[in-house]
Structure 1
Amino acid sequence: MHPEKLRPLPQKTIGVLGGMSNQATGEYYRLLNKQLNEILGGWDNGEIVIVSVNFGNIECFVRADRWEEARAYLSDKVDRLERAGADVVICVSNTMHRVVEPIMAERSIPFIHITDPTGAAIRKAGIAQAGLLGTMPVMNSIELRDRYRDRFGVEIIVPPEKDREIVDGIIFNELVRGDLRNESKQEYLRIVNNLRKRGAEAVILGCTEICLLISQGDLPDLPVFDTTELHVRAAVDMAHDRG
């Protein structure tokens, strides 16, 4: 017989900077609890604090390149996570790491950058070149490509401009609204296959809504690295003291 667990169960609180979008935030919440329950068993899952922002503000800031305003807006939300007792913070948006990373660099609370668990997984798989899908700011980010290359030895390949516009448009016009269309899936698969022809040995789902539309099952012979799932796993590991 297993010894009775101490109640309430001592746990670290995971702070989620969410709302970017609500679709991704819902997936994070589901996966965090699922993965923690697999570790803890029984009825146990996570202790989670979510501060969910208005995605309309985020969309406006991103579209108009108002990054300083975005930083001030999200800095206030991180303050709220800290006051709520979060022991570790994650941001559910690849795009908004552009401002959240410097915000968190000024804090003492641990922060898991979404790129790092993905880069580590790609390096562990022995992959040198990976295609990247995401919003336009993510796919155009030199800093992001440098992070993958300098920290993990992974060269990033992005679609040509016309296809980047398609990927971005599907995210903002469909996926953040939970609008999942087969024709959009086929466009993504076409774009991924073109990246593969250009030398990509894998594809990174570099937007936290893309996993709602395509997954490893759609590309059985090409490794798929889902930033959402890998980010959640890293948060669970830290919260459960597993590395």
Structure 2
Amino acid sequence: MSEVRPGGSPSLPDPALSALHGAPSPDERNAVGVLGGLGPYAGLDLVRSIFDETDARTDQGHLPVTLVSYPNRVPDRATWLADPTAPSPLPAMMEVLRRLDDAGCAVAGVPCNTAHAPALFDRLRDGLLADGRDLALLHIVDAIVARLAEVAPDAGTIGVLATTSSIENRLHQIGLEAAGLSALVPDAAHQAAVQNAIYGPTGLKAESAPPRPQARQALLDATDHLIERGAQAVILGCTELPLAVPEADRGGVPFVNSTRALARALIRATHPGKLRQP
């Protein structure tokens, strides 16, 4: 039974507090961690996607999830990748990952495609290893490739909608090519419109609940452009994009929602029996 404190509210039983007062025991290390705040709605959308992709019929059937979101502490990832003298997001991101590990998370996901560029992501993984942390950090492009096999198993040419930073760093292209797929990116004009739909004054970083119609239209125009050039599936390769384009497909050409892909990968890594079948 839980103890009642003088203020009248019951305290949690000791096992429930152990992750907060010390290292979780192995049987407690089963939560899914989310490094949020990159941007904030993307973190919330990932948590919702985890719930949506879990095969559960009761409250208790859902997975333990820890979201830590400190958007004011994490500098922009694309800015730092373009200019390493700019404020680095690494220290704040590492601090959040340590907190997720301390909370008993077995695995963590970062709902920001740009953060998975090797110059940043590899340092996060190396930092966890150097700290002796047990937390496993999943790569979002691996999750996207796995999701492609589910929603578009016969597709060979894959369109990519992403930030200009991700496109220039060939973040998705490298992963797709390693899987034997061809990557197709927008031309300069459409890419500029996609970037503006994310970072512009009426873009998704500024307004995502709800998104501005012009931001959504720019993304749909870029999608049509990729389909006209032969894309058989289109990756929504920025975790802001599904907020404006929630559809499963465009004229029969499937979208691959990177947030949903990462959610499924996190469930598969921790509670595979709870993964909802596509």
Q: With structure 1 as the length reference, what TM-score do the two structures score? A: 0.85
Identical-residue share of aligned pairs (%): 22
Q: Which runs of structure 2 are paired with 1:94-243 in the superposition (5 Å)?
A: 94-98=113-117, 99-106=120-127, 107=129, 108-123=134-149, 125-150=153-178, 152-173=179-200, 174-176=203-205, 177-178=207-208, 179-217=210-248, 219-242=250-273
1:22 aligns with 2:53: no
CA distance in 2: counterparts of 1:181 and 1:67, whole angstroms: 32
- Structure 1 residue 222: deviation in Å? 0.8
Please say if residues 74 and 93 of structure 2, whose CA atoms lie closer than 8 Å, have aligned partners that are also in contact. no
Among 65, 80, 105, the alignment partner of 2:99 is 80
Residue 58 of structure 1 aligns to a residue whose secondary structure is coil
Unaligned 5+ runs, structure 2 = 1-15, 17-26
Residue 88 of structure 1 aligns to a residue whose secondary structure is strand
Which residue does the alignment assign to 1:4? none
Please say if residues 133 and 204 of structure 1, whose CA atoms lie closer than 8 Å, have aligned partners that are also in contact. yes
Segments of 4+ moved more than 4 angstroms: 8-11
CA distance in 1: counterparts of 2:173 and 2:157, whole angstroms: 11
Tell me how large the CA RMSD over aligned residues is.
Answer: 2.6
Which residue does the alignment assign to 2:109? 90
Please say if residues 35 and 111 of structure 2, whose CA atoms lie closer than 8 Å, have aligned partners that are also in contact. yes
Unaligned 5+ runs, structure 1 = 1-7
CA distance in 2: counterparts of 1:72 and 1:130, whole angstroms: 34
Please say if residues 122 and 154 of structure 1, whose CA atoms lie closer than 8 Å, have aligned partners that are also in contact. no
Amino acid at match of 2:109: I
1:43 aligns with 2:73: no
Give the length in aligned residue pairs: 233
- Structure 1 residue 145: deviation in Å? 1.3
CA distance in 2: counterparts of 1:161 and 1:75, whole angstroms: 34
Amino acid at match of 2:143: P
Residue 58 of structure 2 aligns to a residue whose secondary structure is coil
Amino acid at match of 2:184: I
Task: Call closer, same or farther: CA 1:231–1:67 in 2, change over 3 Å.
Answer: farther
